[in-house]
Amino acid sequence: MAEATAPQQARIDAAISRYLAELTAGGELGPSDLDEIEAHLRSLIDDLRDADLTIDDAIAEATRRMGEPCAIARELTCVRSPFGATLSRGRAWSSAVLLVPVIVLALVDAVRSHGGGLGVELALCAIVALALAARLSWARPIVIGAIGFLMVPIAIATLRYESHPLWLVWAAGTLAFIAPWRRRELSKPGWSLALQLGGMFAALLISVFPAPDPTMIRSLAALALPSCLLGIIGTIVRARWAVAAVILGVVALVASVAQLWIQHLAAGADSFTLARLVTNSAAILAAAIGGVLAWRTTVTSRRSAGSAVRQVAPLRTVVVITSSLQLIA
Amino acid sequence: MRLRSKQPAPRISKDLVAASATPLLLSILSKGPSYGYAIIQEVRELSGGELAWSEGMLYPVLHRLADQELIEAYEDVGENGRKRRYYRLRPEGRRALVAERRQWEVVHSALAKAGRS
């Protein structure tokens, strides 16, 4: 093979740079991933030139053989992050910014009720918003699940003129930034996390659901809430004990929603109450499906330890930052 | 009258290519450490050019195998002086290869018997 002249080498370099730019546009790849693909492209172009192809033909054939850069980037990103493709900076930061109004409102509520109110929700929302801004892969499915399940009660409340339609626009807008628009953008563990949020929401809504005799219902919801939260944390670290927490949460939720159904049907519930009960039941079903997916995707062996360390290390940082912010607040 | 063209070599379906990727990569790496481009060349050689892989898609598969701890990656300088990422088989990968081979033998023997009957 004749040595490439300086202009020829410049054409090769430019073509490789274009290919790598398309790769980085399709997903977040590390420098070593890009180096590996660049080395492959250079070897392929060299070999094709050895086979008497012109520079242009060798470049065209090499990029054709390598395949669609966006598809490769998407697959590589999915492998690197267990919960699915990492969001681009723009989408992650835009959706994190959209979470700020909720945090501010929760903060105002917490201050008004002297720290009572929505303190836990505020902390969780702040953790997720920070994790989303830091583009940690588990934050995206959590926000997808949270907004997805939140949209139903917001829509019902908007229809009954109890809530400003702007909230519905806010939820749809946030969801638009983080929704998995392309196939396989979220992996199975990602879907497991998103669906498990249904359990959290059902537990929160059931704990304030009006009922003729709410004592037992609220105790069960109070048991379900930390169980569902534990299930989500366990799924983030990909440990199989998460499934036990999800089962406990779902069983408590099924028992509480069953009592709600019995009491409201006996009292002759209106269509609005029935719609809310159906929503809660569907959210519990979603959490159960999330539990099944968690069972199929989490691991028990020592492999979980490495994964846990990788996932918990950034989580711990986020918790420390959030705690500091809370102290300042 | 329509002319009958010569029967082309059968194109291996995408599903079969995907299913055979893991045992093929594990088999190649069982012979010694290798890097992406060399692995693709070997796959082409072994299949007589019949296994058409989108070459870039090799890397997600290799990274997935590394994530499953069947193989491991390390950096080294190649014969041309360029730094390369090499892959080598782990003991877990060797065990997985034995299991994969057994499964493919079962499928192969079932197909052969079905062809005879």
Residues of B in contact with A79 (CB under 8 A): 60, 63-64, 67
Relative to beta strand B83-89, strand B34-35 is: antiparallel
What integer pLDDT is reported at residue A82 of this predicted model? 77
Judge whether A91 and A178 are in contact, CB under 8 Å. Answer: yes
- The mean pLDDT value for A221-250 works out to 91
**Cβ atoms of A103 and A129 closer than 8 Å:** yes
Beta-bridged to residue B34, according to DSSP, are: B87
Which residues in chain A are closer than 8 Å to B85, comparing Cβ atoms?
Answer: 32, 35-36
B95 contacts chain A (CB < 8 A): no
A123 falls in which pLDDT band (50, 70, 90)?
Answer: confident
Instruction: State the nearest Cα–Cα gap between A229 and chain B, in angstroms.
Output: 27
Residues 6+ apart with CB under 8 A from B57: A67, A71, A72, A75
Sheet holding B71-77, edge to edge: B34-35, B83-89, B71-77
B90 Cβ under 8 Å from any chain A Cβ: no
Chain A within 8 Å of B63 (Cβ-Cβ)?
A: yes
Q: Can you spell out the DSSP letters for A54-95?
A: -HHHHHHHHHHHH--HHHHHHHHHHHHSTTBPPPPHHHHHHH
Window from A176-180, A293-297, B2-6 with minimum mean pLDDT: B2-6
Average pLDDT by consecutive 10-residue portion of chain B (117 residues)? 46 79 93 94 86 86 86 83 88 93 90 81
Give the distance, in angstroms, between the CA of residue A257 and the centroid of all CA atoms in the same chain: 26
Predicted local distance difference test score (pLDDT) of residue B10: 60
Flag whether residue B56 sits within 8 Å of chain A, measured between CB atoms. Answer: yes
Does B74 reach chain A within 8 Å, measured CB to CB? no
b/e per residue A228-259 (b: at least 16 CB within 10 A): bbbbbbbbbbbbbebbbbbbbbbbbbbbbbeb
- Asked if A222 and A202 touch (Cβ cutoff 8 Å), the reply is no
pLDDT, residue B9, reads 54
Measure CB to CB from residue B54 to each of A42, A67, A78 and give the nearest one.
Answer: A67
**What pLDDT is stored for residue A327 in this prediction?**
43
Are A318 and A134 a contacting pair, CB within 8 Å?
Answer: yes
**Closest CB from B56, B84, B85 relative to A67:** B56
Tokens of A22: 């398309």
Q: From CA A237, how far away is CA A314, in angstroms rounded?
A: 11
Q: At what angle do helices A215-236 and A271-297 cross, to 10 degrees?
A: 30
Question: Which residue in B has a C-alpha nearest to residue A79's C-alpha?
Answer: B64
Contact flag A76-B60 (C-beta cutoff 8 Å): yes
Beta carbons of A289 and A239 less than 8 angstroms apart: no
Query: What is the average pLDDT score of chain A?
Result: 82
Q: What would the pLDDT profile of A305-317 be if each residue is shown by its tens digit?
A: 444 444 444 555 4
The predicted structure's pLDDT at residue B35: 94
Contact A78 B60 (CB under 8 A): yes
B59 at the A interface (CB within 8 A)?
Answer: yes
Find the mean pLDDT for residues A27-55.
87
Interface contact B59-A33, CB threshold 8 A: yes
Q: Does residue A96 surpass a pLDDT of 50? A: yes
Helix (H, G, I), strand (E, B) or coil at B88: strand
| pLDDT value at residue A63 | 93
The pLDDT of residue A28 is 63
CB contact under 8 A, A32 and B85: yes
Residue among A262, A109, A136 nearest A193 (CA): A136
Choose the weakest-confidence range: A122-126, A156-160, B28-32.
Answer: A122-126
pLDDT value at residue A60: 93
Dmax over Cα atoms in chain B, in whole Å?
A: 61
Q: What is the mean pLDDT of residues A171-181?
A: 86
Q: Which pLDDT value is given to residue A328?
A: 43
Query: Two tokens at B73?
Result: 């990656």
CB contact under 8 A, B57 and A65: no
Q: Is A80 left (phi over 0), alpha (psi -120 to 50) or beta?
A: alpha
Q: Answer yes or no: pTM beyond 0.90.
A: no
pLDDT band at residue A244 under the 50/70/90 scheme? very high
Task: Give the distance between the most distant pair of CA atoms in chain A.
Answer: 89
